[in-house]
A and B are shown apart, each in its own frame.
Chain A
Amino acid sequence: DIQLTQSPSFLSASVGDRVTITCRASQAISSHLAWYQQKPGTAPKLLIYAAFTLQSGVPSRFSGSGSGTEFTLTISSLQPEDFATYYCQQLNSYPLTFGGGTKVEIK
Chain B
Amino acid sequence: EVQLVESGGGLVQPGGSLSLSCAASGFTFSDHHMDWVRQAPGKGLEWVGRSRKKANGYNTEYAASVKGRFTVSRDDSKNSLLLQMNSLKTEDTAVYYCVRDNDHYGMDVWGQGTTVTVSS
Contacts and interface: CB of A to CB of B under 8 A. Distances in A.
Are these two chains actual partners, yes or no? yes
Interface of A: 1, 32, 34, 36, 38, 43-46, 48-50, 53, 55, 87, 89, 91-92, 94-101
A87 to B, nearest CB: 6
Contacts of B47: 89, 95-98
Contacts of A95: 47, 61-64
B62 to A, nearest CB: 8
A38 B45 CA distance: 10
Contact of B104 (A48, A50, A94): A50
A106 B63 CA distance: 35
Interface residues of B, number: 23
Given A87-B45, A100-B44, A55 B64 contact: no
A44 B45 contact: yes
B53 to A, nearest CB: 15
A55 B106 contact: yes
B105 A49 contact: yes
Nearest to A38: B45
A95 B112 CA distance: 23
A76 B108 CA distance: 23
Contacts, number: 63
Nearest to B62: A95
Contact of A43 (B35, B50, B110): B110
Contacts of A46: 106-108
Contact of B106 (A1, A38, A89, A97): A89
B9 to A, nearest CB: 14
B16 to A, nearest CB: 25
A34 B107 CA distance: 8
Given A94-B61, A96-B47, A100-B44, A55 B108 contact: yes
B2 to A, nearest CB: 12
A95 B104 CA distance: 13
